Structure formats: structure tokens, C-alpha cells
Amino acid sequence: MSKDFGKQALRYHRHPRPGKLAISATTPLANQRDLSLAYSPGVGAACRAIAENPLEVSTLTARANLVAVVTNGTAVLGFGDIGPLAAKPVMEGKAVLFKKFANIDAFDLELNEKDPEELVKTIARLEPSFGGINLEDIKAPECFIVEQQLRERVNIPVFHDDQHGTAIIVSAAILNGLHIVGKPIEQVRLVCCGAGAAALACLDLLVKLGLPRTHITVCDIDGVVYAGRSKGMDRWKAAYAQETSARTLADVVDGADIFLGLSAPGVLTKAMAERLAPQPLILALANPVPEILPEEAREIRPDAIIATGRSDYPNQVNNVLCFPYIFRGALDAGASTINDAMKLAAVQAIAELAKAEPSDLVTKAYGGKPERFGPDYLIPRPFDPRLLVRIAPAVAKAAMDSGVASRPITDFTAYRQQLGQFVYKSGLLMKPLFERAARHPKRLVYAEGEDRRVLQAAQQVVDEGLAYPILVGRRAVIEARLKEQGLRLKPGQDVTLVNLDDDPRFGTYWRACHRLLGRQGVSPEEARAIIRTQPTAVAALMVGRHEADSMICGAVGKFQHHLRYVSDLIGVEPGTSRLATMTALILPSGTYFIADSHSQQEPDVDALVQTTVRAARQIEAFGVKPRIALVSRSNFGTGDTPSAVRTREAVKRLHAEHPELEVDGEMHADVALSRELRDAVYPESRLAGCANLLIMPGPDAAHIAYSLLKSLGGGVSVGPILLGAARPAHIVTQSVTVRGLVNMSALAVAQAGEQDRVESEGLGLG
């Protein structure tokens, strides 16, 4: 660790307050009534219910989602026995990872006790408090005794992370590494340096996966673990003792296909690495300093696949990829233990995820270049949101199949969706639209069909059955990019390609374009150029001509540029004069929608009314009841600027023409968000509670409010959603993510379905 990085790490731990986590309340505690519910006398009802039926503890307390991270500090990372106090930063860290990656609450408990029997007694007494026990950094062989005895005594999952978390991720990495070099696990020879908690658990699991025990040679601090050795031996190591005259690591590395290091820094020298078999797997996993640094290993063995436990090299083989998710699955299924079936399910899920298509969120988190399965990408990265969605259900299912689940999951689709909502925060809001789109998928044309994010989104859209994608773009480019990203889409089969360089529709389209734009000074020659060079114009014409049901554009280029083609070639809904936009912001405090009449800098009364009505209808499609405030610098008549007067007038018209809407204004934004503030100035307001739709007095205000809230509120957004187009069309921003594109795709398809329904009812077909 460089001096500078060490300083940064200390600062990270000191600020903004000491340590890395805190406890926060999940229920309101703002007044006397809350207090009487949360504490005496209300809490008594919860106590009595649990006394009568202990299973109620899972519904009335946080226990079912609470894990104890327990250590005695005897094997802290690769530092060894530095004691429980110095272990606390690692345990706090594990607790943070539980929370961030799997939404599991964890307490770190550092115990001043080395005797295994005493440790067992203390930890077993914690059973009423926790839904699971994660043992951490307890040295071998004591850790084996502690875990075994605890498993016998308590009825909740006990999992020694350094053993099993490590074993699971090491197994996934080795399976994938062997797949790449084409060596069957039954035939390889493995040398393991370290014979402690992590090493022996890894070997046990690898043996279960088919590695013959006789192909394994183990070394510890005293050298080779051989049959008949007495120094530093225990029965767990003895299980791997070989009949051999070799005595040191240097004696046993010749021709080994795998070096597995779970021991101490620098024990594998370059000279030893040189003697490994061709295309060896070198897993140097001691933390924070590995058995050999990747640059040294690479220098001597350019043919090797190299992994460490660290995040600053490729192939981070670290139990962080496992423990949050295996506990998530175990807790959700109410598992009484974590058994071999659950561990093997986790191995399989992790190994398979590495082979899946790259995720743009992972690409973003790791500096921009999509990673494909291969020697430098053996296993998924820790910031891959799919880890939760894939591992936890696999583990829960294995718990159920192996008969240890007390709360079996009945609907796995719903369970995956629920996990998805945690990792993709927009999931809950989007759910009704995804369901509608999946029920009636429609033709959806993507103007930027060559864009890598669009291709990934189209793959997900096809996988989830949300739409029949049409991609505007050159076939050769699309095919090359599909291949490069490992996507499975088959042009002509599950996506349609439109390439106007060689499409017979070219003539029809440019003439249609000229018909629509001819009176805006566009000559036939220009119309031809537009159709050849502006994919948004092509997509808009397809939608306008009912050759597609909806469109998405904007991943490349400026918003206004796309807006022009959408408004000129698709047009606006009857009764609407202009297009408007709305964005949903999903913040920790709730979901808020911000709308503005995008194309008019100073919207007139008509535009404000139309924007409000269109935005309200769109919010209803999310299954949310709109509570609308037209916000302004004026608060119920305190100002008379032209904008305030127009807003006031718009509210009057809304009250008269749309009495069904819960809407009021003009008002300050804080007054919109607080009933109390509103009551203080205008208790007669037609808006009850907190507004969830803020109609802005202009696009500048909307943009500023949106970006402030997004930066300060730490939320995610869905949008911009274009309001008022004659047929569903959306213009995303250039920074859109794949998830953002999939969200907008579901929205566009759901809108198209709704439009079809309304039209067919209008024709008497409904």
C-alpha cells in the first residue's frame, strides 16, 4: 500500500464521522403517538405476540434480516492474530457490504475470547437476536470447532465466510479458469499454500466438484503437509497429507496446473512460478498482499491466468462476491442452515454470470470498457448488480430442494423482481408498465440501432418479452457489435433491421418526409439527405406511418435535434398544441415527478394546463395517484410577475375544466411538499398532503430543480418522458444507461398498448 493510499484510507475511515456505518430507524418517531406505538405501551403488543408464537419474531422485529458478523481477531486478513479491537474495521466493512450489496442489516461483534468452547457458548447465546451468524477471521483449526459446534446448537445459518465464502468464489474461478485453458478438473494437479480456514474449505469444495484428493498437495508455514508429519498438524490438515518425500513449496510446484495461495505475502517466488505447468492458474489470494504480485507472475509466466483477492487487479477472487448473496437467499427462504447444496448452487450461479453478456452498469463502474469472459475476466466484478438477482434465488431454491427452508419461496418470478427492485431502484415504479408491456408486446423502433447500449437494451427487451425491436442501422456494424458484446440477438429473427442504404422503402420515406417538411423549406434533395443520415427521422416516419408502434431515440446527439423530427414527423396528440416532458425522480424520501412544457421557454396558460393534464395521466399509468402543485416564486398570490399570473390562471382553468384532479397553486416548492407549511398560509388548498407532481413554470426551472434533486437526493431517475406526441416516442439523454433504455422501452410499449385500446374502443371494437 503506498503511503498516500494509506493516508486516504485513514481519512475515509475518519470522515464524515468515525467508522463506516450507523443504525437508522425505519419507522416514524416524530410525536407522542409514534412514541407510544414504538415503545411503551405499544411495544407490549409485539412482545406478547412473539411470546405466544415465536415465528412472529420475523414479522414484528428486524431479526429475520439481521446477521451478526462475529470475530475474535485471530486471523484478520493476512495479518494474523491482531486481536478483536484491530479487527473491527474489517468487520464494520463486512457489515457495510452486507447492507450495500444485499440490503441485509449486520452488527459487527468483536469478542475478546480465544477458547473455542467459550466462543461457542457466547455466540450460541446470541441466537434470539439474529437471523444468521457470519463468522469472520477466526483462525484454523479453532474456526472448524467453533463452526461445527454452533451448527449443532443453533437453528439459524452459521457460515464461516473465510471458509465457505472463499471456497465458493475460488471454485467458481477455478471452474471457469479450467474451462478457458481446456483442462478437465479430474486431471489437473493443484498446489495449495496455506492449510488454514480458507485453504482447507476451498479444497473440500473442489474435491466435491471432482478434483481428486490425490492430485492436491498442501503446504503451510512448516512446509509440505505429508503423511506422518507431527509438527503443526491437526486432523483437518491431515485429511490432505500425502505420502511424499517433498518437504517445501519449492519441491512441489513442478508441473502444477493450479497454484492456490491462501497464506501469506510473497511466498510464491518467480522461480517457483516458472516451474508451474503450461497455462497455469495462479490464485494468489492472501490479503492485502498476495503470495505473488500479478506483475511479477505475469513477467515470468505470460501464459498464466492470474487472480488476487484485491480490487486493483483483474480477477478479484474475494468472498465479497458470495457472502451477501448466499445470506440473502438463506434468510429469504428461512433456511435453518447453509448446506452443500446451497453452496454448490452459488458456485454455479457465479460461474455462469461471468459468461453472461457484459452489463453497462459494471462497465461504467470499472472505467468504460465492456469486459467479456476470458483470462482477465474469470468471475463477475463486485459491483455487478446481477449477482444479487442470480445468486440469492439459486441459493433459496437449493435450500428448498434440500429441505432446510422454513419459509419456502412460492413465486420465484416475483422474488427476482423484488431483488431487482433493490439493485435497480426504478424497478418498483416501472413494475406496472413492465407488466403491461409484457402482456402486449409491440413493435418498438430504436433510432440509434448501432449504439452498444441500445443493442444491450434490445437484448433485455427480447429476453423479457417486452417488445419486438426494430433497429435502424447498418447490418454489418450491428452484427459486429452484437458479436463483440456476446449478445444473442438474431437479426431477422428476434430483431428487425432497417438500413436505408439498401432498403426499397427509401423512396417512399424521403417522399413522405418531403410532404411533411416541404413547407418548412426542405427541398426534395434535403429530404433524401435527411432519410439517409438522420435515423430519428426514419424512426419517426415509421411510427407516423404505423410501421412501428413506438420509438426511442436520443442516445446520441442533442435533445432538441431529435425533438424537431419527432414533433414534425409524428405530430402532437389531438387537443395538444405542444410537446412537454416529465421526469420521475426516485429519491430515498419518495418518488416525485417534475414536468415542464419543454418546447416553450415561457409557457402560456394553455401550455401549463396541457402539461399538467398530460403529466397527470402519465403518472396514473405508473399506478400512482397524482397530487399536483404548480410551483412558482409566488405563493398563493404573494407575487404578480407575468409567470405567477399565468400559473394562477392555469390553476383556475384546471379547477374549472378538470375538477377530478387534485391540483393547486401557484405555490412555493417547499409549500408543495409540506401540508403543514401550506396550512399555515392557505389551509383551503385543494391539494392534500405532499405533492408528487411539480409543474414547473418553465424548462430552466425544471432542469435546475431536477439536477439539484438528483445530485443532493442521491436518487435515480426515469425519463425524460415525452408528453403529448401523437404516437409513443421518447427522446432519452446521451448519458442514458441500458437500464434507462429498457425502462423507456417498457413505457413506450405500454403507451402504445393503451393507445391501441383507446382507438379500438373509439371504433366500437373494445
Ligand X SMILES: NC(=O)C1=CN([C@@H]2O[C@H](COP(=O)(O)OP(=O)(O)OC[C@H]3O[C@@H](n4cnc5c(N)ncnc54)[C@H](OP(=O)(O)O)[C@@H]3O)[C@@H](O)[C@H]2O)C=CC1
User: Which residues belong to the active site?
Assistant: 94
Q: Which does 195 bind (CB under 5 to 8 A by kind): ligand CC(=O)C(=O)O, Mg ion, ligand X, none?
A: ligand X
Q: Any residues with CB less than 8 A from the CB of 742 and at least 6 apart, and which?
A: 457, 460, 461, 464, 466
Return the CA Rg of the chain.
31
Q: Which residues pair with 498 in a beta bridge?
A: 472
3-state secondary structure (DSSP) of residue 12: helix
CB of 190 to ligand CC(=O)C(=O)O, least distance (A): 20
Closest to 282 in 3D by CA, of 250, 315, 248: 315
436-461 exposure pattern, b = at least 16 Cβ within 10 A, e = fewer: bbeebbbbbbbbbbbbbbbbbbbbbb
Q: Which does 550 bind (CB under 5 to 8 A by kind): ligand X, Mg ion, ligand CC(=O)C(=O)O, none?
A: none
Window 240-269: contact mask with ligand X (x via CB under 6 A): ----------------------xxx--x--
Distance CA(508)–CA(513), nearest Å, equals 9
Residue 44 among known ligand-binding residues: no
DSSP letter (8 states) at residue 277: P
Query: Which residue lies nearer to ligand X by CB, 219 or 500?
Result: 219
Residue 170 among known ligand-binding residues: no
Query: What is the distance of C-alpha 745 from the center of its chain?
Result: 19
Residue 78 among known ligand-binding residues: yes
> Please, which of residues 308-327 interact with ligand CC(=O)C(=O)O by CB under 6 A?
309, 318-319
Residue 422 among known ligand-binding residues: no
Residue 544 among known ligand-binding residues: no
Full DSSP string of 80-103: B--HHHHHHHHHHHHHHHHHHHH-
Query: Which residue lies nearer to ligand CC(=O)C(=O)O by CB, 140 or 651?
Result: 140
Query: Which residue lies nearer to ligand CC(=O)C(=O)O by CB, 220 or 332?
Result: 220
Please report whether residue 105 would count as binding ligand X according to CB under 6 A: no
Q: Which does 433 bind (CB under 5 to 8 A by kind): ligand CC(=O)C(=O)O, Mg ion, ligand X, none?
A: none
Residue 107 among known ligand-binding residues: no
Window 416-455: contact mask with Mg ion (x via CB under 5 A): ----------------------------------------
CB of 321 to Mg ion, least distance (A): 13
Where do runs of H (alpha helix) occur along 660-718?
Answer: 669-673, 675-681, 699-713
Residue 620 among known ligand-binding residues: no
Query: Which residue lies nearer to ligand CC(=O)C(=O)O by CB, 161 or 371?
Result: 161
Query: Which residue lies nearer to ligand CC(=O)C(=O)O by CB, 162 or 549?
Result: 162
Query: Which residue lies nearer to ligand X by CB, 316 or 600?
Result: 316
Distance CA(63)–CA(61), nearest Å, equals 5
Q: Any residues with CB less than 8 A from the CB of 37 and at least 6 apart, and which?
A: 27, 43
Query: How many Cα atoms are found within 13 Å in the side-chain-facing hemisphere of 603?
Result: 33
Pairing mode, strands 729-731 and 550-553: parallel
689-715 exposure pattern, b = at least 16 Cβ within 10 A, e = fewer: eebbbbbbbbbebbbebbeebeeebeb
CB of 198 to ligand CC(=O)C(=O)O, least distance (A): 7
- Angle formed at CA 345 by CA 341 and CA 346, multiple of 5 degrees: 120
Query: Which residue lies nearer to ligand X by CB, 138 or 628?
Result: 138
Q: Which does 219 bind (CB under 5 to 8 A by kind): ligand X, Mg ion, ligand CC(=O)C(=O)O, none?
A: ligand X
Query: Which residue lies nearer to ligand CC(=O)C(=O)O by CB, 161 or 450?
Result: 161
DSSP letter (8 states) at residue 526: H
Window 276-305: contact mask with ligand CC(=O)C(=O)O (x via CB under 6 A): -----------x------------------
Contact 203, 140 (CB under 8 A): no
Q: Which does 391 bind (CB under 5 to 8 A by kind): Mg ion, ligand CC(=O)C(=O)O, ligand X, none?
A: none
DSSP letter (8 states) at residue 131: S
Pairing mode, strands 223-224 and 216-220: antiparallel
Distance CA(551)–CA(749), nearest Å, equals 9
> Please, which of residues 158-187 interact with ligand X by CB under 6 A?
162, 166
* Binding-residue total with Mg ion (CB under 5 A): 2
Please report whether residue 147 would count as binding Mg ion according to CB under 5 A: no
* Of the candidate residues 77, 145, 239, 497, the single one contacting ligand CC(=O)C(=O)O (CB under 6 A): 77
- In the chain, count H helices and then E strands: 31, 21
> Please, which of residues 83-142 interact with ligand CC(=O)C(=O)O by CB under 6 A?
137
- Whole-Å CA distances, 224 to 633, 694, 766: 78, 71, 79
Please name the helix (run of DSSP H) or strand (run of DSSP E) that holds residue 67, with its range, or none. strand 66-71
Q: Which residues bind ligand CC(=O)C(=O)O (CB under 6 A)?
A: 77, 137, 161-162, 287, 309, 318-319
Pick out the residues of the known binding site for NADP(+).
76-83
Residues of the binding site for a divalent metal cation = 136-137, 162, 287
Interaction site with ligand X (CB under 6 A): 75, 77-78, 139-140, 162, 166, 193-199, 219-222, 232, 262-264, 267, 285-287, 309, 317-319
The residues that touch Mg ion, with contacts defined as CB under 5 A, are 137, 162
